[in-house]
Amino acid sequence: QVQLKETGPGLVQPTQTLSITCTVSGFSLTSYYMQWVRQTPGKGLEWMGFIRSGGSTEYNSEFKSRLSISRDTSKNQVFLKMNSLKTEDTGVYYCALWELGYWGQGVMVTVSS
């Protein structure tokens, strides 16, 4: 069955880079778009971007300058990297497969020194 699981650092210092991995199973990354969404106390749910089945990406301009989404299809993994972190980036980060109606459990990220 379809599963998505995010793994990440938990705590990141301000100005540093956040790296989160979404490991998937039960479907092929080359067939579907993979989304990244975050949920913060300040702004609620925010769409961050996606990687298409063909590998191209689309980003929310809110994050575009510091966000990168990539994947390794051989490992069934999708990656989110965001640099120049601020305390306002604290929240839960989700990967999601909207076309089939699945979200990961999310990973809590705290940005603090």
Partner 1 sequence: DVVLTQTPPTLLATIGQSVSISCRSSQSLLHSNGNTYLNWLLQRTGQSPQPLIYLVSKLESGVPNRFSGSGSGTDFTLKISGVEAEDLGVYYCMQFTHYPNTFGAGTKLELK
Alpha-carbon gap, residue 80 to 77, rounded angstroms: 10
> For residue 33, what are its two tokens?
């778009």
Rule CB under 8 A: say whether 105 interacts with partner 1. yes
Residue among 42, 58, 70, 108 that touches partner 1 (CB under 8 A):
58
Nearest Cα residue to 24 out of 7, 11, 48: 7
- The one-letter amino acid at 56: S
| Site size with partner 1, rule: CB under 8 A | 16
Alpha-carbon gap, residue 84 to 9, rounded angstroms: 15
SS3 52: coil
CB of 94 vs partner 1, minimal distance in Å: 6
Rule CB under 8 A: say whether 61 interacts with partner 1. yes
Residue among 27, 71, 91, 106 that touches partner 1 (CB under 8 A):
106
> For residue 103, what are its two tokens?
């979200």
Residue among 15, 52, 62, 72 that touches partner 1 (CB under 8 A):
62
DSSP 60-80: -TTTTTTEEEEEETTTTEEEE
CB of 87 vs partner 1, minimal distance in Å: 21
CB of 62 vs partner 1, minimal distance in Å: 7
Catalog residues that contact partner 1 under the rule CB under 8 A: 44-47, 58, 60-62, 94, 98, 101-106
